[in-house]
A and B are shown apart, each in its own frame.
Chain A
Amino acid sequence: MSAMTAIAAVELRRFLRDRSNIFFVFIFPLMLILLLGSQFGAGSGQARVAISGPGSALAQALTAELKASGIDVTATSADAARTDLSRGRTDVGLFLDDADAEAFDAGKPAELDVVMAPQSSGQAVLQQVRTAVQSVGLERAQLAALTGAGVPGEQARPALDQAVAQVAVPTVEIVDTGGVGQEFRGLGRFDLGASQQLLLFVFLSSLTGAATLIQARRFGVVGRVMSAPVSSGQIVAGQALGRFAIAFVQGGFIMAGTALLFGVDWGSLWLSGLVLVLFCAVSAAAAMMVGSVMDNDSAASGVGVGGGLVLGGLGGCMVPPEFFPETLAAISFLTPHRWAYEALADIQRHEGTLADILPQLAVLAGMAAALLLLGAWLLRRSLNRAL
């Protein structure tokens, strides 16, 4: 085994033996992907309406109509509904009372109390509630019109039912312009979150791992290795390879774990793997830079956490970059995350081929090479620096 691979193997062994890594490197990313998928994943943003009041024909009719519009309806008490509204746990609350139910049963007008949650989604849901309430009211108006025109009450309902079966009513057909909405169509509940968190955590863990490089310098490990017939170039390459191996183990674990546990579709595995390899190379090189420039391992951890989260956020790992304003979207291409995100999106969503993602791969390779050279130069310089 060459000196370089021996150093890399030691780094990887030390990492895997440290039990404190288990949570942040392996468990936490999967927990976060599960949480993000359950909160924001495809099919999660369902509108919520709480209906309070006595069980009545009115409550049943409104519940059925709202559910038919795809709204999640819960029956609850008035107090619980108000609490849920103020806490943003429901979008709209409908407060029915005995008088409303009696008026509805008697075919008389009724005024229903409705309260919208103080959040932006409340407005859209309130409009859906208006439409549903109007629709329930329409049925009564139809019966009233028929009986008013002389149709006996017991005949009006069957006649309406028969007419509904025979007459076509106007419908809406919704198309989109192929914009943001279309971009995420077909993605599984956890697919988007998995690719975002993969990039966020591989880079974040690599940067925070820079502290071990500082410790190796501080404890004189690097100095002692250099007393053996090992060149500084081999040490630099070995350290970089070690960090790369750690990043790849974590990335591979997240990809395999999310595919097995959450059914995430990574598209072509060898292409996704290739993106991961290059992204890990960039991450390892960035860690080399931080570990060489800084001398305080605790401060380096802070920079690693902060830098990892900030760059991840800018690179589209927290909010999909498709939602970024124009300037921010342009800035995000300065981060490796954005290029890797684009490549993974191409593979996951559009069955992208190697030719399709070649530009992204080239940029990632260029970033890795530039950072690696800079990191190696900085590490060589740091070895001569007193800590």
Chain B
Amino acid sequence: MHGLWTMVANDLRQRTRDKSVFIFSLIVPLSLMGVLSLVFGGLGEDTVDLQPAMVVASADDADQLGAALLGAVDSLQIMDVTIKRVPAADVRSETEASGAALGIVIPQGFSDAVLSGQAASVQLVEGNGAALETGVLISVVQGALDQFGAGTVTAAAGAMSGLPHQDLPALARQAAAGLPLLTLTEGQAAAEQLSLRGTLVAGQAGLFLMFTVGFGVLGLLAEREQGTLARLRSMPITGGTVITANACTGFILGVVATTVLLAAGSQLFGVSFGSPIVVAVLILSVATAATSLTFVVARLVRTAEQANVAQSILAMVLGIAGGAFFPVQGTGFAATLLDLNPIGAFIRGLGISAGGGSLGDVTGPVAVMLAFAAAGVVLSRVLPDRGAQV
């Protein structure tokens, strides 16, 4: 046991003196978190709430349905809407200049056209920013027009069925604005997702963990190439102890680097990952999975250089598929495959933890990571050691 810890301490000393460990484990992921946070920042607010929006509109004051349409937009309960009235010719330019979410041009004689069943088109000018709010507002306008249309169609159907002419306006109103037959009751979904910035921090930490633990195994291969492994074997130390020492080095480096990255990331980018105990369990699990994978790599390659490339390929493929740069969605078999990815499970676990999940709630992701680790260990025992054949 003493020999094991001496080797681990020696390995750790060597690694911490190597600039490349710091570059790959801390500097590159932190820089990437910063840059990704900046560039993704322009894609929208990191929140599910709708932001207040401005609507630039032109409508004839005397137009009853036009006023009703703007009233439906103005009285929207899910978001704060301000309506700015301008002449029709200015709606486009004003929408562009003011950064409004939507411009609405209600044509002259809109009510008359709708009520008489003639074609009428409301022009909507999409704003440059706030795509989310624009989408909501377009849907609201569409809903209001559907109601107007339903009234007109019902009145026409009533006329065709021989109903008295004077009853038709009331019939139209009843069809369009009567009590809705279908209403919605909104419930809450359990949040198992990180915010955009949270995903970036967790994803980069998970991706670069794969590189960091690799330094432990690379040490083993370097020792083999430099001949120190043969010398170690001449001493009263079992081969298993040498391998365990390298595994411990990779594991410790991985756990420390991931903890530092998550802590620094949450401070710098204002994200919270929830209970520290749950986060700690997730870090230990993902570091175990990543370390076991490096031993599969070590069996498959002959030189440290080959190990470097193989490790990088696995890190990038698992990291990107796990959602380190952007969320990757799949269906059917692809979804199952994505679920078995340890980096994906780590990000998902952090999402559950950030949503207030306890240890019991992260059992699924932890099981995936530990199963991956077990599979890695078994595989590394079964696979022939190509390096030993050199």
Interfacial residues, chain A to chain B (CB-CB below 8 A) = 20, 23-24, 28, 32, 35, 39-40, 82, 85-89, 93, 95, 104, 107-124, 126-131, 133-142, 144-146, 148-151, 155-156, 159-160, 162-164, 166-181, 296, 298-299, 301-303, 305-306, 309-310, 313-314, 316, 318-319, 323-325, 328
Evaluate whether A86 and B192 lie within 8 angstroms (CB atoms) in the complex, with A134-B147, A177-B125 already known: yes
The CA-CA distance from A32 to B183 in the complex, in Å, is: 43
The complex places the Cα of A302 from the Cα of B135 at a distance, in Å, of 43
Given A127-B139, A298-B20: A172 touches B122 (CB 8 Å cut-off): yes
Question: Is B140 touching A134 in the complex (CB atoms < 8 A)?
Answer: no
In the complex, what's the smallest C-beta–C-beta distance from B75 to chain A, in angstroms? Answer: 14
Beta-carbon contact of A168 and B126 below 8 Å = no
Q: Looking at the complex, which of B4-12, B111-119, B225-233, B381-389 is the stretch in contact with chain A?
A: B111-119
Provide a sorted-by-A list of 25 A–B residue pairs whose CB atoms are within 8 angstroms: A28-B316, A116-B48, A122-B48, A123-B132, A126-B186, A134-B146, A136-B182, A138-B147, A140-B181, A142-B150, A145-B171, A146-B175, A155-B161, A162-B160, A168-B118, A170-B114, A175-B123, A176-B125, A177-B125, A296-B20, A306-B27, A306-B32, A310-B35, A319-B40, A325-B41
A167 touches B153 (CB 8 A): yes
In the docked arrangement, what's the CA distance between A172 and B137, Å?
Answer: 12
Q: A120 and B121: CB pair below 8 A?
A: no
Q: Are B126 and A319 interface neighbours, CB within 8 A?
A: no
A119 vs chain B, min Cβ distance (A): 6
How many angstroms between the C-alpha atoms of A156 and B160 in the bound complex? 10
User: Knowing A20-B306, A20-B309 touch, does A166 contact B38 (C-beta < 8 A)?
Assistant: no
In the bound complex, do residue B36 and residue A171 qualify as a contact, i.e. CB atoms below 8 Å apart?
no
Known: A108-B181, A172-B138, A296-B19. A141 touches B175 (CB 8 A): yes
> Which residues of chain B have a CB within 8 Å of any CB of chain A?
18-20, 23-24, 27-28, 31-32, 35-36, 38-45, 47-50, 78, 92, 95-96, 103, 110, 113-114, 117-128, 132, 135-136, 138-143, 145-150, 152-154, 156-158, 160-161, 163, 167, 171, 174-176, 178-193, 305-306, 308-309, 312-313, 316, 320, 325-329, 335, 348, 355
Given contacts A171-B122, A296-B20, contact A313 B39 (CB under 8 A): yes
What 12 new A-B contacts, CB under 8 Å, besides A89-B329, A137-B180, A325-B42? A32-B320, A108-B181, A109-B181, A109-B183, A121-B132, A127-B136, A127-B140, A130-B143, A141-B181, A173-B122, A177-B95, A309-B35
Nearest first, the 3 A-B pairs at minimum CB distance are A169-B149, A302-B23, A306-B28
Q: Are B161 and A156 in contact (CB under 8 A)?
A: yes
Closest-by-CB residue of A relative to B123 is: A173
Whether the pair B157, A82 counts as a contact (CB closer than 8 A) is no
User: When chains A and B are docked, how far (Å) is the Cα of A135 from the Cα of B175?
Assistant: 11
CB–CB A138/B132 < 8 A: no
Are the CB atoms of B191 and A318 closer together than 8 Å?
no
Would A85 and B184 be within 8 Å (CB), given that A167-B153, A177-B96, A180-B128 are in contact?
no
Instruction: Assess whether A116 is in contact with B186, with CB atoms less than 8 Å apart.
Output: yes
If over half of A's interface residues share one DSSP class (helix, strand or loop), that class is named, otherwise mixed; here it is helix
The answer to whether A145 and B174 touch (CB under 8 A), given A88-B327, A171-B122, is yes
From residue A20, how far is it (CB to closest CB) to chain B in Å? 4
**Pairwise interchain contact B42-A134, C-beta atoms closer than 8 A:** no
Residues of A within 8 A of B328 (CB): 35, 39
A130–B44 CB distance below 8 A: no
CA distance A148 to B167 in the complex (A): 12
Q: Do residues A124 and B122 form an inter-chain contact, with CB atoms below 8 A?
A: no
Contact partners of A86 in chain B: CB under 8 A = 189-193
A residues in contact with B147, CB < 8 Å: 134, 138
| CB contact under 8 A between A135 and B143, given known A156-B161, A306-B28 | yes
Residues on A with beta carbons closer than 8 Å to the beta carbon of B158: 145-146, 149, 151, 159
Give the Cβ gap from B115 to chain A, nearest Cβ, in Å: 10
Please give, as numbers and ranges, the residues of chain B lying within 8 Å of A313 by CB-CB distance: 32, 35-36, 38-39
Q: Shortest Cβ distance from B30 into chain A, in angstroms? A: 9
Task: Specify which of B20, B78, B121 is in contact with A123 (CB 8 Å cutoff).
Answer: B78
A324 contacts B313, C-beta separation under 8 Å: no
Known: A138-B147, A179-B128, A323-B42. A124 touches B135 (CB 8 A): yes
Contact flag A318-B36 (CB < 8 Å), given A20-B306, A134-B143, A167-B117: yes
Cα–Cα, bound, A172→B156 (Å): 21
In the complex, the answer to whether B181 meets A137 with C-beta atoms within 8 Å is: yes
Complex Cα distance A4/B124, Å?
62
Asked if residues B305 and A20 are in contact (CB atoms below 8 Å), the reply is: yes
Say whether, besides A149-B167, A160-B154, A168-B120, A176 and B126 are in contact (CB < 8 Å): yes
Closest chain A residue to B196, Cβ basis? A120
Taken together as a complex, chains A and B put the C-alpha atoms of A115 and B158 apart, in Å, by: 37
Interfacial chain B residues near A176, Cβ < 8 Å: 125-126
List residues of chain B with CB within 8 A of the CB of A127.
Answer: 78, 135-136, 139-140
Q: Which residues of B contact A163 (CB under 8 A)?
A: 153-154, 156-157, 160
The one of B154, B187, B191, B308 in contact with A142, judged by C-beta atoms closer than 8 angstroms, is B154
**Contact between B138 and A156, CB atoms less than 8 A apart:** no
Determine the chain B residues whose CB is within 8 A of the CB of A149 once the complex forms. 158, 163, 167, 171
**B residues less than 8 Å from A302 (CB atoms):** 19-20, 23-24, 27-28
* A318 in complex: contacting residue of B125, B128, B325, CB < 8 Å: B325
Whether the pair A118, B23 counts as a contact (CB closer than 8 A) is no
User: A35 to B321, alpha carbons, bound, how many Å?
Assistant: 9
Q: Which of B39, B45, B326 has the most CB of A within 10 A?
A: B39
Tell me the complex Cα distance, A122–B187, Å.
13
Expressed in whole angstroms, the minimum distance between the Cβ of B346 and any Cβ of chain A is 14
Q: Is the CB of A112 within 8 A of B182?
A: yes
Once the chains bind, are A141 and B178 in contact (CB under 8 Å)? yes
Contact status A85-B189, CB under 8 Å: yes
Chain A: minimal CB distance from B84 (Å): 15
Smallest CB–CB gap between A18 and chain B, Å? 9
